[in-house]
């Protein structure tokens, strides 16, 4: 499986447009890995996790062809993860040509929230209308926590991320050909059912939400100290080894230092920091 990080920032991007803090100033001055788009991941060029506001631009930069995507997994519908404007350009009104079918998996609550965003974009659009979905060549696939389904070339298991309880945000274990990847953002906590599943699956890559620096958790996500604890527990139960690719993503300026400093802190706990454009083959 080939993983390409299209974006690795939290909702606010990096640097924040109007922030003059030291971390954002550093990002503006030095650029490089401290410039982060909103979090999104593509697997093998055919499975996209989160069609976010920056996904299309990132695909252009990193040579990912979105027409090849056959499965879209949405973690949830917050605006840093779902861009209704991009989604709706699949409609024939936008003169789209050679449109390929797309399987869209998310929780029922997330699909409803996506539809609300789509309807705000265009009042005549409606994901609950079969004709509209046919026009966009969509198949909607509601998933519940604990459910495993075959989606295209992948076997996907969904878990409750506790991040958006009202809408049931999900995180996913994605398997193909004996390899597997856990994508865990946005994530309030790693539930016991996730530890139990990962202990069995022994994933080749684990990707975790590190929105905040250690001790700076403002809610809804993990901070660096919590990520270190999760990694330690995963190692203790045998879910990961030194060969497992472990990355933090969904990074904000709140308590997280510049990239290189984050890397040395994370390295002490046995994980790495993702950056935009990073490609990992497992
Ligand atoms: Zn987010
Ligand atoms: Zn800042
Ligand atoms: Zn969110």
In this prediction the pTM is: 0.98
Provide the pLDDT for residue 192.
Answer: 98
pLDDT tens readout for residues 224-243: 999 999 999 999 999 999 99
Distance of alpha carbon 1 from alpha carbon 181, whole angstroms: 9
Distance of alpha carbon 199 from alpha carbon 195, whole angstroms: 6
CA of residue 198 to ligand 1 center, whole Å? 23
CA of residue 113 to ligand 2 center, whole Å? 29
Ordered by where they begin, the domains of the chain are 2-281 (3.60.15.10)
In the structure encoding, which two tokens stand for residue 197, read together?
Answer: 């599943």
- Assign residue 63 a region: left if phi > 0, alpha if psi is -120 to 50, beta otherwise? left
CA of residue 116 to ligand 1 center, whole Å? 18
Q: Return the ligand number nearest the Cα of 213.
A: 2
pLDDT tens readout for residues 48-70: 999 999 999 999 999 999 999 99
Distance of alpha carbon 137 from alpha carbon 101, whole angstroms: 5
Residue 269, preceding bond cis, omega within 30 degrees?
A: no
Provide the pLDDT for residue 144.
Answer: 98
Q: Return the ligand number nearest the Cα of 252.
A: 2
CA of residue 162 to ligand 3 center, whole Å? 10
Q: Please answer whether residues 167 and 77 qualify as being in contact, where contact means their C-beta atoms are separated by less than 8 angstroms.
A: yes
Q: Return the ligand number nearest the Cα of 188.
A: 3
CA of residue 164 to ligand 3 center, whole Å? 7
Q: Return the ligand number nearest the Cα of 254.
A: 2
Kindly state the DSSP code that residue 282 receives in the 8-state scheme: -
Tell me which residues have their CB within 5 A of the ion that is ligand 2: 16, 19, 21, 24, 253
Cα angle value 142/149/147 (rounded, 5°): 70
Q: What is the mean pLDDT of the chain?
A: 97
CA of residue 9 to ligand 1 center, whole Å? 8
CA of residue 244 to ligand 2 center, whole Å? 31
CA of residue 174 to ligand 1 center, whole Å? 19
Q: Return the ligand number nearest the Cα of 28.
A: 2
CA of residue 95 to ligand 1 center, whole Å? 31
Q: Of 83, 93, 82, which Cα lies nearest the Cα of 135? A: 93
Q: Low-confidence residues of the chain, pLDDT below 50?
A: none
Provide the pLDDT for residue 272.
Answer: 98
């Amino acid at each position: 499986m080939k993983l390409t990080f299209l974006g690795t920032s939290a909702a606010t991007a990096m640097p924040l447009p109007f922030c003059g803090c030291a971390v954002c100033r550093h990002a503006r001055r030095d650029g490089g890995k401290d410039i982060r788009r909103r979090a999104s991941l593509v697997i093998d060029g055919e499975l996209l996790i989160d069609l976010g506001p920056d996904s299309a631009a990132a695909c252009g930069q990193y040579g990912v062809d979105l027409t090849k995507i056959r499965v879209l997994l949405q973690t949830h519908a917050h605006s840093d993860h779902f861009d209704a404007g991009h989604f709706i350009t699949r409609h024939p009104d936008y003169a789209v040509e050679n449109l390929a079918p797309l399987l869209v998996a998310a929780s029922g609550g997330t699909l409803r929230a996506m539809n609300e965003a789509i309807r705000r974009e265009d009042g005549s659009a409606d994901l609950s209308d079969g004709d509209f979905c046919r026009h966009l060549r969509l198949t909607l696939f509601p998933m519940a926590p604990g459910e495993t389904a075959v989606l295209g070339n992948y076997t996907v298991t969904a878990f409750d991320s506790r991040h958006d309880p009202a809408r049931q945000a999900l995180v996913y274990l994605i398997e193909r050909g004996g390899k597997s990847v856990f994508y865990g953002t946005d994530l309030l906590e790693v539930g016991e059912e996730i530890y139990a599943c990962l202990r069995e699956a022994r994933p080749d890559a684990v990707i975790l939400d590190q929105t905040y620096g250690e001790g700076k958790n403002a809610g809804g996500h993990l901070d660096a100290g919590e990520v270190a604890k999760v990694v330690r527990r995963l190692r203790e139960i045998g879910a990961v080894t030194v060969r497992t690719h472990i990355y933090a993503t969904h990074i904000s300026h709140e308590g997280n230092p510049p990239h290189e400093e984050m890397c040395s802190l994370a390295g002490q706990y046995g994980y790495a920091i993702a950056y935009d454009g990073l490609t990992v083959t497992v």
